[in-house]
Amino acid sequence: MRSPLANLLGENMRLGKAIIVVQIAIVGFCVSTAAASAQVVALGASNTAGYGLSSPQSWPAQLQAMLQAKGSTTKIINAGISGDTSAGILSRIGSDVPEGTRIVILSVFSYNDNRKGITPAEHQANIAGIERQLRSRGIRIINANGLIQSALKAGMVQGDGIHLTADGCRRVAMGLTGSIR
């Protein structure tokens, strides 16, 4: 027969081992979740956000779906904010581009800057600052402006003449799929 002290120590050791196993599992989950949620960030304004469309129709969401269909586990975060300026995008890099991000797909046009009094020189300085901050963190930058402009010129534009349609977003996403590796 075991003494009460031996029983107590035995139960505490089993409990201690169980706590350690749970702690290891939690740490592993947090690390894998952080890595999975910070692989690719789509950074821009309304055409990135998917203005006038449902969330699944935005090009970041369509890109995510296309990559998943090919068996990729890459996670795309849509950090597009309608109406944002180059200065606003520069100011939110620290909060919208988490540690562990490998790629930023950048889409910054001067339309919102012009409307809000940001000069072309300030726009260019902000773009340079965005790129400098991302590169200093070892993040690869993919510029999506050309793909978006191409879709707009092809007539894949909403009635406002500014924002992409769902088909335009699909075209942008298809153009980006080969760049994500």
Residues of the chain with pLDDT > 90: what percent? 78
**Among the listed residues 161, 172, 45, the one whose alpha carbon sits nearest the alpha carbon of residue 110:** 45
Query: Average pLDDT of 153-172?
Result: 97
> Looking at the domain that runs over 38-177, which CATH code has it been given?
3.40.50.1110
Q: Do 156 and 164 meet the contact criterion of CB atoms below 8 Å apart?
A: yes
Per-residue pLDDT tens digits for 32-48? 444 444 499 999 999 99
5 pLDDT more than 90: no
19 pLDDT more than 60: no
**β-strand pairing of 76-80 with 103-107:** unpaired
Least confident window among 4-13, 18-27, 136-145, 157-166: 18-27
pLDDT at 82: 97
Q: Round to whole Å and give the CA distance between 175 and 77.
A: 18
The answer to whether the predicted template modeling score (pTM) of the entire model surpasses 0.85 is no
Per-residue pLDDT tens digits for 61-97? 999 999 999 999 999 999 999 999 999 999 999 999 9
154 pLDDT more than 80: yes
pLDDT at 65: 97
